[in-house]
Chain A
Amino acid sequence: MNDDVYIIGAGIHPFGRTDGRSGRDQGVFAVREALKDAGIEWGDVEFAYGGSAAAGSADIMVNELGLTSVPFINVSNGCATGGSALAAARNAVAAGACEIALAVGFDKHPRGAFNAKPAEYGLPDWYGETGMMLTTQFFALKIQRYMALHGISRRTLGLVAEKAFRNGTLCDHAWRRSPVDLDTILNAPMVNDPLTKYMFCSPAEGAVALVLASGKKVRELGADAIRIASVAFRTRPEGSFEVFAPSISVNGGGKPTQIASRAAFEMAGIGPADVDVAQLQDTESGAEIMHMAENGFCADGDQEEWFANGWSEIGGRLPINTDGGCLACGEPIGASGLRQVYENTVQLRGRGGDRQVPNDPRVGYSHVYGAPGLSAVAILER
């Protein structure tokens, strides 16, 4: 048994579009970066977990990385692929099955909105045929109601995107590296009311790899280690409102994000006020706003004041999505959740450069959400 598990290496392949390089090759690139960062060789990795949603199996990477007979488990868990790989790798080290494990996620999606197939989600064909099976609609429907109930303005939706693109200009792994001003965001073509083109992230490409190790290995290697205080992954509870829902209960219900968040805080023995930097799922502007409350960082409706005062800016009271989030990085599904953990690792090590959160952040929080209603939270501590 290893009580504590640490991240000792973090590697990323820049997000965006890399023509001529497969998703898996981007994964191999990220693994090599992570190994270099950890100061170890591929042969030192005793267990590996990884996957993608649309770019094939991860275990084939051994062809490029080396045929070391390492046990390599393919993870295929939709938007939670990266989070699941991280949770599994952490558990392998915690259980004492190995001292060094790898988690890798990568992807490469075609341009345009994701087109989901109804049967794969246990839904009837007519649901897709009539044009109701779009993830973008769900986010619009959720924020439309949230805005009406909690007094969130369209301007605040725009400020979320403006912040994302501004942070993206400071981040070398971001896809969108140019600022976009508030008027342009608000006046852009409407995708699904109230969300305009600039308020949505796009499917993209990219890869992230993390090397995990036991405390014993950290001491042996003298690694620049960040402790994984907790990882919690939850599917949806009864009565929740999720993507791809032909009906919702009138009785209401819980949310997978709230449940995962509470479990992660409990496991880490800390609360939202202890967090110094957060990466929250921002599939679109409204998601970041709602996830601030669902993760316990503010009350419903307070986001209006947060954005008016810049409290979630780098340098604010709780910097959120310091690398520009999904809005600036795009969303390669298999890699997206691990990108958040990568960014927190960078921030806690003080290697953020122009986007470094000031005052030596100690606690980093990351949250991924996806279809068909699942959420994974990881808390890192320096």
Chain B
Amino acid sequence: MTMLAPIAPGLWTDEAEPRLIGGRRGDGEIVFPVPSGDAATLVEPVALSRCGTLWSWTTQGFEPKEPYSGPQPFQPFLIGYVELPGEVIVETRIVDAAPADLAIGMPMTFAVVAFDDRRSTYAFRPERQP
């Protein structure tokens, strides 16, 4: 994993257990990602929770057109939204799961995963049962 470059800077923290970085607006509302340009001055960066619940999910069975730049040949993947309680609902890849494993409301944990052989991206996976 250490060989991979993040798909973009500033999406998650650089620590042993990385966390997504959101932006807290003046009214308390948290957005993800931190906005760029002039809007960035209006938010305060905040590290988000690593744990949440599945808000919705779907499969991506066909290869998206550009600007998608995933590995070749195309591998179908899962995406969804994970609700980080009291913070924000983030759109994310879902890894280590099949559609049959997924149920809205199930606990999910944050992960940084390989996107292709050069880059990493963020994802959530079903929380491992103890």
Contacts and interface: CB of A to CB of B under 8 A. Distances in A.
Interface in B24-61: 29-33, 36, 55-61
Nearest to B63: A131
24 contacts: A117-B67, A125-B67, A126-B8, A128-B67, A128-B68, A130-B7, A131-B64, A131-B68, A131-B70, A131-B77, A132-B91, A140-B58, A141-B80, A142-B56, A144-B56, A144-B57, A148-B104, A192-B60, A193-B57, A193-B99, A248-B88, A248-B91, A250-B87, A250-B89
Contacts, number: 112
Nearest to B32: A247
A144 B93 CA distance: 16
B55 A145 contact: yes
B79 interface: yes
Given A113-B64, A113-B65, A126-B11, 18 more contacts: A112-B65, A113-B62, A115-B66, A126-B8, A128-B66, A129-B67, A130-B7, A132-B91, A137-B58, A141-B56, A148-B104, A191-B62, A193-B57, A193-B59, A246-B91, A249-B88, A250-B83, A251-B29
Contact of B88 (A117, A128, A247): A247
A124 B33 contact: yes
Given A130-B115, A137-B58, A193-B59, A248 B89 contact: yes
A192 B91 CA distance: 15
Contact of A129 (B7, B33, B57, B89): B7
Given A124-B36, A191-B62, A247 B70 contact: no
A191 B68 contact: no
A140 B55 CA distance: 13
A142 B7 CA distance: 26
B61 to A, nearest CB: 5
Q: How large is the interface on A (under 10, 10 to 19, 20 to 34, 35 or more residues)?
A: 35 or more
A273 to B, nearest CB: 32
Nearest to A238: B29
Interface of B: 7-8, 11, 22, 29-33, 36, 55-62, 64-70, 77, 79-81, 83-91, 93, 99, 104, 115, 121
A142 B53 CA distance: 16
A141 B89 CA distance: 13
Nearest to A144: B56
A246 B32 contact: yes
A191 B56 contact: no
A125 B104 contact: no
A189 interface: yes
A245 interface: yes
A190 interface: yes
Contacts of B64: 113, 115, 131, 133-134
Interface string A107-138: 00000110101100000111011111110010
B58 A141 contact: yes
Nearest to A239: B29
Contacts of B91: 132, 245-248
A192 to B, nearest CB: 4
Nearest to A142: B56
Contacts of A249: 29, 88-89
Contact of A115 (B36, B65, B86, B121): B65
Contact of A192 (B59, B81, B89): B59
Given A124-B33, A130-B7, A145-B55, A247 B22 contact: yes
B90 A193 contact: no
Contacts of B115: 130
Contacts of B7: 126, 129-130
B56 A145 contact: yes
